[in-house]
Structure 1
Amino acid sequence: MSGTEQTTAAVNAASGYAHPEVLVETSWVAEHLEDDSIRIIEADEDVLLYEIGHIPGAVKLDWHVDVQDRLARDFVDQQDFERLMSRWGITNDTTIVLYGDKNNWYACYSFWLFSMYGHTKMKIMNGGRTKWEAEKRPLTKAVPQITPSTYHAQPADESLRAYREDVLAGLKNPGRRLVDVRSPQEYTGELIHMVNYPQEGAQRGGHIPGAKSIPWGTAANADGTFKSAEELRQIYGSKDVTPDAEVVTYCRIGERSAYTWFVLTRLLGYPRVRNYDGSWTEWGNLVRSPIEK
């Protein structure tokens, strides 16, 4: 183990995370740029950032194209996921390192989706693209030349995903905790339409009845890294979102709530957390869906 790896392991262990192995620091990534057993994937909210410059060797995940079903509002199926991994030269033994902008919104979204299809060797680069750039680490415009691989995905693990029927059925369940990770203005219904996101529109504003308002960004430090386990436990525990509860997270389309899903399951070790990716674009448009403001 190198000095950087020892430092990273020590920092993560001291953080008190349930699964410290899912995080790596920028220094660790910098040391592994030539490691053939690793595939670095950039997943951004701003899909143009990759072309401006990316970590050497990283491939681009475009969420508008690569992982979306071409007809239904859904993700790619098992076979198309296998084709995507194969295109990127990923095998079942490859360690995937995910990073992106917006404090790793879409990196965590990707982690969640890849987990559903059974890939276990994954890490998030703590601090994401912002931290890499702040440290003036190398960026390139060169697209890596990759030899396709053979990849075998598992059938989608539906236990990680919640649907509207699940949310409706759980509204009268006292053991269920709904976590609304949007901004306070979205939660109250003051903000219905987000100008820069017309594809995320809804007819009504507000929140799902009983949902706790815990904005996703409260889990992040100013530099985009994750807060310590002690701080995170205080944030969620103060809203009665505890490990013994069944938890469902949501936002507008599922990306910010996947970030919170990652925090709760991987950093805090909550055993029963699902991401409702239909989120407010579905709930706020449903006929007769119950809403609170």
Structure 2
Amino acid sequence: MNLKINLILIIFLMFSCKKESVEKSYSKKSNYLINANELLEIASNNKIKILDFRKKEDYQKEHIKNAIQIWRSDLENPNYVYSGMMPSSQQIERLFSDLGIESEDTVVIYDDKGLCEAARLWWILQVYNFKNVKLLQGGITAWKTINGDVSNIEPKFSKTSFKLSQTNKKNLFISKEEVYKALKTNTILLDTRTIAEFYGDYHKKGAAKPGRIPNSIHIDWAEAINFHGNQLIKPIEELEKIYSKLNIRKNDSIILYCHSGVRSAHTTFILTELLGYKNVKNYDGSWTEWSHFDNLPHEIGSSTTLKKNNHE
């Protein structure tokens, strides 16, 4: 009996040490990741604002205590005929002011999609030079695992006068016009959608047609997380192996896109924050925007059934 107990204890300790080692490897790479135990230590600080980036119905069932609900529709610029474009700095300031977020607060974001939604907001805030951002590994599941407080009560915070820095950083951002110019260079385009979207067998609502930007390389964003498991980001060593298969050097110029810049924002985080790629830009409009312009070139099909529309 004692031998059995000892074996169970050894296995538990080995798993715990491995998990701790993985979490430490993340923290050494990026200041933007936080685990549940770290959040537990600071959650009661009034300068911490936790954002629950899930749909309202999921939030209302339960959420991390005092978390504020936010969704994609809160972060869209309405001045386009297509949806999903990032909000203006003025929109962010109004939204955060209404939510009760102060300019000096640290924002902790979680979702239930392996940080896909959270990484989109991280990217937007990076573009607007707001650095006080943390992404919660494992979301509410990890939080509940350590017995963190959950609630179904929506907190109320007094309105503030949230202001972004006057200096916007465009180092992670690229526009449609810039993507078009880059097609004539050695810039690498990574399509982070599903393989069905990449081939044009399927396109999500909002896109005008199926297809992809010419000469794109495919890498599904979900390769970076344990998609069918706990949805945690994979260890750094695994990530290195996954992206090394693309034969891209860390100093290459890289443009990422997906359907509307959400999944590609996640890959932007992985490449820049965890793997050290130096010249990465996320195309905000992504395929949704590109597909609306018939004068822009596109491809559809696999390499054996390739069809092109090369309007110059």
**TM tier relative to shorter chain:** 0.7 to 0.9
In the alignment, which residue of structure 1 is the partner of 2:250? 243
| In structure 2, C-alpha distance between the alignment counterparts of 1:87 and 1:130, rounded to whole Å | 28
Mapping for residues 158-169 of structure 1, pairs under 5 Å: 158-169=170-181
* 1:48 is the counterpart of 2:57: yes
Contact 1:17 1:229 in 2 (8 A): no
Question: What are the superposed Cα offsets for residues 228-247 of structure 1, whole Å, 9 maximum, x if unpaired?
Answer: 22211221121023311111
Shift of 1:151: 2.3
Alignment identity in percent? 29
Alignment pair present for 1:262 and 2:269 = yes
Distance across 1 between alignment mates of 2:152 and 2:27 = 37
Q: CA RMSD in A?
A: 2.3
Distance 2:127 2:279 in 1: 14
If the length of structure 1 is used for normalisation, what is the TM-score? Answer: 0.86
Q: Work out whether 1:63 is the aligned partner of 2:68.
A: no
CA-CA distance at 1:67 after TM superposition: 2.1
For normalisation by structure 2, the TM-score amounts to: 0.81
Q: Given residue 207 of structure 2, which amino acid in structure 1 is its aligned partner?
A: G
SS at structure 2 position matched to 1:41: strand
d(CA) in 1 for partners of 2:97, 2:32: 23
> How is 1:136-155 mapped onto 2 (pairs within 5 angstroms)?
137-155=148-166
1:36 maps to what in 2? 46
- For the 8 Å contact 1:189–1:207, the answer to whether it is kept is yes
Query: Does the 8 Å contact 1:16/1:230 carry over to 2?
Result: no
Matched, 1:79 2:81: no
Aligned in 2, Cα 1:291/1:93: closer, same or farther, shift over 3 Å?
same
Judge conservation of contact 2:172–2:282 (CA < 8 Å) in 1: yes
The separation in 2 between residues aligned to 1:171 and 1:146, in whole angstroms, is: 47
What SS does the corresponding residue of 1:186 show, helix, strand or coil?
A: helix
Q: Which blocks of at least 5 consecutive residues in structure 2 are unaligned?
A: 1-17, 302-312
Q: Are the counterparts in 2 of residues 8 and 24 from structure 1 also a CA contact under 8 Å?
A: no
Long gaps (5+) in structure 1: 1-6
> Alignment partner of 2:29: what SS?
coil
SS in 2 for 1:106: helix
Correspondence list, 1:12-27, <5 A: 12-15=23-26, 18-19=29-30, 21-27=31-37
Q: How many residues are treated as equivalent by the alignment?
A: 277
Corresponding position: 1:92 with 2:103: yes
Q: Is 2:178 aligned against 1:170? A: no
Q: Check the 8 A contact 1:162/1:274 in 2, yes or no.
A: yes
